Chain A
């Protein structure tokens, strides 16, 4: 099997599993308990808080563990909206956010908030000037993702952070795809709130965090016990949190090397697909791009059919095609960067990890090339295109 869907989720690293195991067996104490068994759990949560914070330049007490990226996004946006409603009800976000952000904003819209969904350019970049012109006296939050999960484009986060700080507006970024993949510093980038998730960095599923800059007072999301400094109640997911900590520690250790390796594999894969498969288009920014993200549209073919062909060859990938979405709408991200429905339909996302090899990518290029060729032979759109071409040649 060749796994190229690391933006969907990643394989847990062995050291992460090892870090988690004690908390499924011997060390079952409640992290709030006074006795030694509880203290060991508490210590593990404390260590993890340091490790996760260290990866983004945050203090441990600014990290609040959640059930994942979705909860962190929901918490950040809903809590800012609710806490600062008397100051204003306007929020700025972009058209290419993850549904965890977009649907939270839509939910707020139905409750009287006004949301500006910024356009992005053809590469998927949010323009800082657009953020600036969208700012109003009643704007309470800017929420722009660090990097896009489909096309990998990395947004100008430091510029937006600096604008937000100058204009005294809180700045949230969904960094689920960037955390552990590219360097992040909440101080340099002037980020007030940041969402991250463990399972995208070789950690366990169902755990993540919201970074809340100290001094930013937003209401709790879950009410109940005093856990997470009374801001996120509920007995801690100790094993998950320990796993997240171990994943963050590992990510910090390998980040530079991982980034270098993935970028070289990525650029090689992009170059080869572009040279070997005609009528394709790279989606997303060529250089301001997540190290492991490759996203192409192949004209005249449909993405799900392509995915099944790849699956038959043991390759796991994903697509923004309407046919894979369940809702039968093509990816909102691909439409936002200006792709036609047909091109959005023919998209293929390959997301690498540091474990992928050049030999694997050789197989991938060959398989994609063959599958696209085959599906084009089946495609009425390709047939029409070729007939028109030969007509033009004969004129």
Chain B
């Protein structure tokens, strides 16, 4: 029926971890320069550096919503270092792939998580190995 896999459709229709957090430890918002879509990730991180909770908001296509949902599932309960391993490739694989024109959408999720981690690091004067300052517009 759709250009998307069943997994993508499932995450699109029933997005996991959609919403906001009251007092997030880190928030990141990124925009996709390619199509103009926007994703925001909220993180709650405990003293041990474990992601206790995560929420997302996305203004974007089916693939963008599904990758947000899947990405939040993949980082929830993980340490910061583990979360850094959640690449757009990993998210796509977990969703059984995306159509070629939609690959750029999955970058949003990776970048939004990085942006939220960056925000957390800034607020807590931390350095997270491998994390660079996020660009505002990605995918260009």
Contacts and interface: CB of A to CB of B under 8 A. Distances in A.
Given A322-B35, A322-B36, A342-B36, A378 B58 contact: yes
Contacts, number: 70
Nearest to B20: A383
Nearest to B1: A311
A328 to B, nearest CB: 4
Given A305-B65, A308-B12, A380 B36 contact: no
A305 B62 contact: yes
B33 to A, nearest CB: 10
Nearest to B31: A380
Contacts of A326: 101
Interface in A64-91: none
Interface residues of A, number: 25
A328 B1 CA distance: 22
Given A304-B61, A328-B101, A380-B59, A323 B37 contact: yes
Contacts of B19: 377
Given A305-B65, A328-B101, A378 B57 contact: yes
A97 interface: no
B127 interface: no
Given A308-B62, A323-B60, A381 B38 contact: yes
* Most central of A301, A308, A312 by chain B CB within 10 Å: A308
B18 interface: yes
Contact of A380 (B2, B12, B58): B58
A305 B61 contact: yes
B59 A300 contact: yes
Interface in A369-395: 377-383
B54 interface: no
A330 interface: yes
Contacts of B104: 328
A301 to B, nearest CB: 7
Contacts of A377: 18-19
Nearest to A329: B35
Given A308-B12, A312-B13, A380 B62 contact: no
Contacts of B18: 377-378
Contact of B36 (A311, A345, A378): A345
Nearest to A301: B59
A262 interface: no
Contacts of B20: 383
Nearest to A319: B61
Interface string A284-305: 0000000000000000111011
Contacts of B64: 302, 305, 323
A302 B105 CA distance: 13
A383 B1 CA distance: 32
Contacts of B40: 380, 383
Contacts of B29: 380
B15 A378 contact: yes
A341 interface: yes
Contact of A379 (B13, B59, B61, B62): B59
Nearest to B139: A328
Contacts of B105: 323
Contact of B2 (A300, A311, A324, A345): A311
Contacts of A382: 59
Query: Of residues A311, A323, A324, A379, which shows the largest number of chain B Cβ atoms within 10 Å of its Cβ?
Result: A323
A330 B58 CA distance: 18
Contacts of A330: 36
A159 to B, nearest CB: 37
Contacts of A301: 59
B39 interface: yes
Contacts of B39: 380
Q: What 9 pairs between A and B have smallest CB-CB spacing?
A: A323-B61, A304-B61, A380-B40, A380-B57, A322-B35, A328-B35, A379-B59, A308-B62, A341-B36
27 contacts: A300-B59, A301-B59, A302-B37, A305-B64, A308-B2, A308-B62, A311-B1, A312-B13, A321-B61, A322-B36, A323-B37, A323-B60, A323-B64, A345-B35, A345-B37, A345-B59, A378-B18, A378-B57, A378-B58, A378-B59, A378-B65, A380-B38, A380-B40, A380-B59, A381-B59, A382-B59, A383-B40
